[in-house]
């Protein structure tokens, strides 16, 4: 078996700690690029632009960015699947996406109009989602099934760390909107380099490359749930879990300001993110170890949903700073389990080895799609259906619905 043909083989050799660490750093770069602007920088820019309508404007800007992400991620994944570079299929997209995403972040930083902010953020999303397509595929490409939950735990932790590290950078290390974007952009590229420069990938030979047919690429956005029911149910449950998470976190800065009346909401977001991340760190790897050793995925995903729903109920009924801190810890614990186990589950229901990055890109629509839908759900709930009480009740209900559907996935224990 040649190295080239290994590109489409089911992996059997375990990956080392250095490989996992480098891929986790690249994942951290992506999620810092995503979350730092959404949590802190964009809300501050929009508050300066129009404080009276900041919530609605944030919903429109993030919604547009998420729509771009929905289109860009599967397309970049499909093109990555067809890449025959001597550097592998994924590394060129990780580096190219990082550079384009950094350019988009810098462009967003320089804007002072709603249209400019929206377009800059859309460009950042385009690049970051091309990078995400490259970052998510190596687990399916190179990690054996019996190691996937642990490796997914480490890469998944990067998603949580992206929240806290980004918040620390733009509130403690530097101050101001432009320096915050500049540092985030620089680290987006720098953290991608260890994986890009140090770790070789199996090369896809040209004779095994699928034709570059734009109709086929467009058709690739649809994966038939009738033909691949486990993939369909995995997509739906992930969509609902992320919808609940997006609804619950969209207005966090404003929740601390308007409901909790925390005197320094920016600092409050940082503290909550740190608590959330620590809790996720404490649960992700142990959950991954248990899942890999037992081979069980679904029960742990259900458990994670139940824990996250409890956190939403705390936020719904107890609008105090101590309760919010407890809720952050509970949410982080549940999300840590989910990050490790669900990603491993998804890699086991992919329809074809030749389309791993594209199909993971379709799955990633279940991450970005809720960012489009969440503002449409959250804004009227806050305005007309009970404010933050209604918002977090909806969050809990959506998350519990996801838990009820996980058992529909039959091909994974």
Element (H, E) at 254: helix 252-258
Indicate the domain borders of the chain. 13-408
**Which whole-number Å values give the CA distances from 228 to 224, 241, 359, in the listed order?**
6, 20, 12
DSSP code per residue over 326-379: HHHHHHHHHHHHHHHHHHHHHHTS-S-GGGHHHHHHHHHHHHHHHHHHHHHHHH
CATH class of the structural domain 13-408:
mainly alpha
Pick from 31, 56, 32: nearest CA to 181: 32
Element (H, E) at 167: helix 148-168
The pLDDT profile of the chain, 413 residues, written as one tens digit per residue, is: 344 456 778 888 999 999 999 999 999 999 999 989 988 899 999 999 988 888 788 888 988 998 898 899 999 999 999 999 999 999 999 999 999 999 999 999 999 999 999 999 999 999 999 999 999 999 999 999 999 999 999 998 888 788 778 888 988 899 899 999 999 999 999 999 999 999 989 888 888 888 878 887 888 888 899 999 999 999 999 999 999 988 888 788 889 999 999 999 978 887 888 898 899 989 999 999 999 999 899 999 999 999 999 999 999 999 999 999 999 999 999 999 998 899 999 999 999 888 999 999 999 888 878 877 887 888 889 888 888 999 999 999 999 999 999 999 998 87
| Contact call for residues 142 and 252 (beta carbons, < 8 A) | no
Instruction: Determine the pLDDT at residue 4.
Output: 42
């Amino acid at each position: 078996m040649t190295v080239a043909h290994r590109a489409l083989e089911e992996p059997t050799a375990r990956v080392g700690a250095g490989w996992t660490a480098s891929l986790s750093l690249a994942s951290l770069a992506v999620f810092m690029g995503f979350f730092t602007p959404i949590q802190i920088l964009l809300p501050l820019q929009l508050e300066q632009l129009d404080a009276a309508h900041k919530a609605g404007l944030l919903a429109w800007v993030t919604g547009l960015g998420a729509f771009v992400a929905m289109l860009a991620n599967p397309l970049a994944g499909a093109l990555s699947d067809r890449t025959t570079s001597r550097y592998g299929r994924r590394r060129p997209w990780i580096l190219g996406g990082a550079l384009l995403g950094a350019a988009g972040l810098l462009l967003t930083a320089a804007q002072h109009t709603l249209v400019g902010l929206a377009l800059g953020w859309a460009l950042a999303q385009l690049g970051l989602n091309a990078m995400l397509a490259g970052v998510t595929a190596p687990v399916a490409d190179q990690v054996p099934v019996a190691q996937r939950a642990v490796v997914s735990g480490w890469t998944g932790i990067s998603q949580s760390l992206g929240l806290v590290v980004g918040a620390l950078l733009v509130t403690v290390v530097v101050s101001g909107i432009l320096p915050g974007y500049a540092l985030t952009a620089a680290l987006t590229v720098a953290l991608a380099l260890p994986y890009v420069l140090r770790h070789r990938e199996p090369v896809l030979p040209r004779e095994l490359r699928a034709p570059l047919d734009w109709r086929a690429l467009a058709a690739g956005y649809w994966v038939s749930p009738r033909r691949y029911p486990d993939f369909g149910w995995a997509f739906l449950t992930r969509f609902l879990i992320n919808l609940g998470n997006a609804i619950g976190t969209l207005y966090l800065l404003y929740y601390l300001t308007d409901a909790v009346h925390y005197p320094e909401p920016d600092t409050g977001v940082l503290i909550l993110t740190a608590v959330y991340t620590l809790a996720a760190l404490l649960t992700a790897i142990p959950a991954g170890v248990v899942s890999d050793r037992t081979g069980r995925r679904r029960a742990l995903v259900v458990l994670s949903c139940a824990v996250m729903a409890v956190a939403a109920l705390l936020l719904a009924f107890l609008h105090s700073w101590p309760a919010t801190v407890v809720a952050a810890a509970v949410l982080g614990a549940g999300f840590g389990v989910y990050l490790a186990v669900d990603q491993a589950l998804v890699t086991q229901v992919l329809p074809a080895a030749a389309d791993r990055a594209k199909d993971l890109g379709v799955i990633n629509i279940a991450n970005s799609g809720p960012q489009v839908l969440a503002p449409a759900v959250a804004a009227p709930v806050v305005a007309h259906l009970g404010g933050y009480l209604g918002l977090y009740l909806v969050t809990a209900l959506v998350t519990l619905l996801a838990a009820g559907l996980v058992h529909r996935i039959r091909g994974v224990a």
